[in-house]
Amino acid sequence: MADICIRPASLEDAAAVLAVYTPYVEQTAITFEWDPPSLAEFRGRMERILETHPFLAAEREGELLGYAYTGPFVGRAAYSWSAETTIYLRMDCRKLGVGGRLYRALEEVSRARGIRNLYACIGDPEEEDEYLTRNSQRFHEHMGYGLVGRFDRCGYKFGRWYHMIWMEKLIGPHEDRPSPVIPFRELPPEALRAAGITL
């Protein structure tokens, strides 16, 4: 899929991004959210992320195919060098290599910012069903993440209990005195281009 470009998302993408996300809320347990957020609420979420973290969009011929972003991990100062990842692809664009492209770019810009640890929070079924499989876990394993924890039956959706797992990838050295993490918007253009991001 060489014609796909990875670019920074903006608030103008909110409606298209929400359109990608909504089927996951309504039809899957991939997200534990029960009801789709309104456009105003979703735009607010994007705005908060964009203040400091990368929010990337995969696009082909002007069509949004998926998105990925990082956000604060836990939210305390000592966790500043860690980030939580999120990725959603349009339902008809899964297993086409789009997710790998997004995640590789996200990882590179995270490394350029000074992030050392990436974490993914993933729904985990007792047994795979029509709402949740282990595809996300397998994708993260393929991307180099390892399982570091599981919370039993902590999510209830569609009349079923689901587990939640955490996966981790270390992407940078852990020095005694790490430099402060750089906000995404302050990264130089050359760092974004080096990550495969189109400006």
List pLDDT tens digits, range 149-158: 999 999 999 9
- Output the pLDDT for position 2: 61
The packing angle between helices 14-27 and 39-50, to 10°, is: 110
| Superfamily of domain 5-194 in the CATH hierarchy | Gcn5-related N-acetyltransferase (GNAT) (3.40.630.30)
Region 139-152: what's the mean pLDDT?
98
Which residues of 90-181 form beta strands (DSSP E)?
A: 117-124, 146-157, 160-170
Q: What Rg value do the Cα atoms of the chain yield, rounded? A: 16
Identify whether the C-beta of residue 80 lies closer than 8 Å to the C-beta of residue 113.
Answer: no
- Output the pLDDT for position 7: 97
Question: For residue 109, how many other CB atoms are within 10 A of its CB?
Answer: 25
What global pTM score does this model have?
A: 0.95
Q: Where along the chain do its domains lie?
A: 5-194
The answer on pLDDT for 184 being more than 70 is: yes
pLDDT in tens, 18-31: 999 999 999 999 99
Which of 16-25, 52-61, 89-98, 138-147 shows the lowest per-residue confidence on average (mean pLDDT)? 89-98
- Output the pLDDT for position 190: 96
**Kind plus residue range of the DSSP H or E element containing 64:** strand 63-72
The pLDDT confidence band at residue 95, using thresholds 50, 70 and 90, is: confident
- Output the pLDDT for position 3: 87
pLDDT in tens, 73-84: 988 999 999 999
